A and B are shown apart, each in its own frame.
Chain A
Amino acid sequence: DSGVTQTPKHLITATGQRVTLRCSPRSGDLSVYWYQQSLDQGLQFLIQYYNGEERAKGNILERFSAQQFPDLHSELNLSSLELGDSALYFCASSGGFQSPLHFGNGTRLTVT
């Protein structure tokens, strides 16, 4: 058990809808990272937060946004969903910028 909790495990929704994915980091970890894993693009870094502030941005679409709350949990919001957004979304946390990552079990999003 990595200590990182992601909810929900599965999400099925329709095109054009909006969903929120939630991540609770390992106790004490200040950094939270979001990744997308799709069949055609593989794993891609989306965005990183550190202690409530955006720290680094990757290949995150404008339709997607994230935030980290004072209790350090993070949410990834995906809006105007398209079929191509169907993917596994992983959250990870770490205790520092040079520390190993601890991954959650992912949220499988299916857009129909």
Chain B
Amino acid sequence: KNEVEQSPQNLTAQEGEFITINCSYSVGISALHWLQQHPGGGIVSLFMLSSGKKKHGRLIATINIQEKHSSLHITASHPRDSAVYICAVPLSNFGNEKLTFGTGTRLTIIP
């Protein structure tokens, strides 16, 4: 069983739609990461959070430590949001060490 499970695996939506990507994990963690991987392959760290909610522009990440669940929301989605979104958790007491990754959610936004 993977320590990190993401859903859905693939998501296609129309421009402007509200997007939700889910991540569940099975281990106790000190932090959770949301990453974005563009079609060209580059990876960008979107959020690192250990509780509550963080917002950056149209992106919002939430985490529920008790339920071991996190969500990534995108408001007013745009074709440039098309990418693979990856959730990762540390197998360590430190937030960015020994990360184990979900398999990713491939998001396609249609104009």
Contacts and interface: CB of A to CB of B under 8 A. Distances in A.
B104 A56 contact: no
Interface in A31-74: 31, 33, 35, 42-45, 48, 55-56, 58
A19 interface: no
Given A100-B48, A105-B41, A45 B95 contact: no
Interface in B72-88: 86, 88
Given A42-B103, A42-B104, A90 B98 contact: no
B95 A103 contact: no
Interface in A78-96: 88, 90, 92, 94
B89 to A, nearest CB: 11
A100 to B, nearest CB: 5
Q: Interface majority SS on A: helix, strand, loop or mixed?
A: strand
Contacts of A102: 45
* Size category, B interface: 20 to 34
B96 A99 contact: yes
Contact of B45 (A31, A56, A100): A100
Contacts of B97: 48, 55-56, 97
A2 interface: yes
A43 B98 CA distance: 12
B92 A56 contact: yes
Closest 5 CB pairs of A and B: A97-B94, A43-B101, A103-B43, A98-B95, A100-B48
30 contacts: A33-B96, A42-B104, A43-B101, A45-B98, A45-B99, A56-B92, A56-B97, A56-B98, A88-B41, A90-B43, A92-B43, A94-B96, A97-B94, A97-B97, A98-B31, A98-B94, A98-B95, A99-B95, A99-B96, A100-B45, A100-B48, A101-B33, A101-B45, A101-B48, A101-B96, A103-B35, A103-B44, A105-B41, A106-B43, A108-B41
